[in-house]
């Protein structure tokens, strides 16, 4: 049986990255530069409020000047685009994050494409997506897959030549995750398979993976018999499931059956405490980098 020693502690790794980011912040402030981060939230989605709150608190802790713009649910797309245009033009704002989800009457693709690529610290602008695919390091990578990449690197997982299976083909995690790992570059050079809802024999694909990254949004989908002994398993999923014993009647679980898979895995992220803290760490790092790029 494996022990907790095979856990990849996302909170600890995130703290290391925050210390590195703080050093870069200090260097910027010595030059008279105050990095600024703008959050934009439309509507009162409870999860969005929580996520933005966490990012606000980390910004304050590190010394990044942040401001949250909260717009009513009925805000038109034109009004949202106007706000983004004003933030693009504001020299005090180095990073812009538009929190998902957006109301159904607003086109997310149009909104993300309206953010200046130089301030797109979420990595969703088509220019940054293209740079990621091309292996151009001058762009911004999306925070969650970038955070997963750091977890792999800092846990000592061998990526070069590894068989990687990514469960999920979404634009936020699955596709950019594959793009990061397949590059001809240091800490990459993997052979990547993306599985999705139309894939045949998903379990068979998973069983040959040296690195298995679950990001499809299906509660506890990955079971022990789907994982190769000694594989590194990264759980990106966040799913709400009923739980009569919980105070609010539900609990959050990942895409991996952690209790079953942990004894099989060589390394595994807990959930919570794995990928989540890394997403925020990468956002802060991207924001500082945007400020550095703005003054070079």
| Residue 92 DSSP label | T
pLDDT at 4: 67
Between residues 249 and 219, the one the model is more confident about: 219
Rounded Cα–Cα distance for residues 46 and 14 (Å) = 24
55 is annotated as an active-site residue: yes
pTM across the whole model: 0.95
The residue assigned the tokens 């105070």 is 247
Domain annotation for the chain: domains and CATH numbers: 32-117 (3.40.50.10860), 142-276 (3.40.50.720)
- Indicate which residue of 99, 210, 255, 257 is catalytic: 99
Mean pLDDT of the region 178-188: 97
Mean pLDDT of the region 145-154: 98
Cis peptide before 272 (omega within 30 of 0): yes
- Indicate which residue of 119, 120, 122, 257 is catalytic: 122
Q: What are phi and psi of 277, to 5 degrees?
A: -60, -30
CB of 199 closer than 8 Å to CB of 219 = no
pLDDT tens, 267-279? 999 999 999 999 9
Radius of gyration for the chain, computed over Cα atoms and rounded to the nearest angstrom: 19
> Is residue 75 scored above 70 in pLDDT?
yes
Rounded Cα–Cα distance for residues 140 and 121 (Å) = 6
Cis peptide before 30 (omega within 30 of 0): no
pLDDT at 296: 81
Two structure tokens written together for 238: 């966040």
CB of 38 closer than 8 Å to CB of 95 = yes
* CA-to-CA dists, residue 97 to 41, 130, 158, 162, 265, angstroms: 9, 19, 32, 33, 35
Say if strands 191-195 and 36-42 run parallel, antiparallel, or are unpaired.
unpaired
């Amino acid at each position: 049986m494996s022990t907790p020693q095979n856990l990849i502690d996302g909170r600890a790794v995130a703290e290391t990255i925050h210390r590195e980011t703080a050093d870069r912040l200090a260097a910027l402030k010595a030059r008279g530069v105050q990095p600024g981060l703008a959050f934009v939230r439309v509507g009162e989605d409870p999860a969005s409020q929580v996520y933005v709150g966490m990012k606000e608190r980390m910004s304050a802790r590190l010394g990044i000047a942040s401001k949250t713009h909260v717009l009513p649910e009925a805000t038109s797309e034109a009004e949202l685009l106007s706000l983004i245009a004003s933030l693009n033009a504001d020299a005090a704002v180095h990073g812009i994050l538009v929190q998902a989800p957006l109301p159904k009457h607003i086109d997310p693709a149009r909104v993300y494409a309206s953010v200046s690529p130089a301030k797109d610290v979420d990595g969703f602008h088509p220019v940054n997506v293209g740079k990621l695919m091309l292996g151009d390091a001058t762009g911004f990578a999306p925070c969650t897959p970038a955070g997963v990449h750091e977890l792999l690197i800092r846990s000592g997982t061998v990526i070069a030549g590894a068989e990687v299976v990514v469960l999920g083909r979404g634009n936020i995690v699955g596709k950019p995750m594959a793009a990061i790992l397949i590059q001809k570059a240091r800490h990459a050079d993997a052979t990547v398979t993306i599985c999705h809802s139309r894939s045949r024999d998903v379990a068979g694909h998973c069983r040959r993976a040296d690195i298995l990254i679950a990001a499809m949004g299906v509660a506890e989908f990955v079971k022990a018999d789907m994982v190769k002994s000694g594989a590194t398993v990264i759980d990106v999923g966040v799913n709400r499931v009923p739980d009569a014993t919980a105070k609010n009647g539900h609990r959050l679980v990942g895409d991996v059956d952690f209790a079953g898979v942990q004894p099989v895995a060589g390394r595994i992220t807990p959930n919570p405490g794995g990928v989540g803290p890394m997403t925020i760490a990468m956002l802060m790092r991207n924001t500082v980098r945007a400020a550095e790029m703005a003054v070079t």
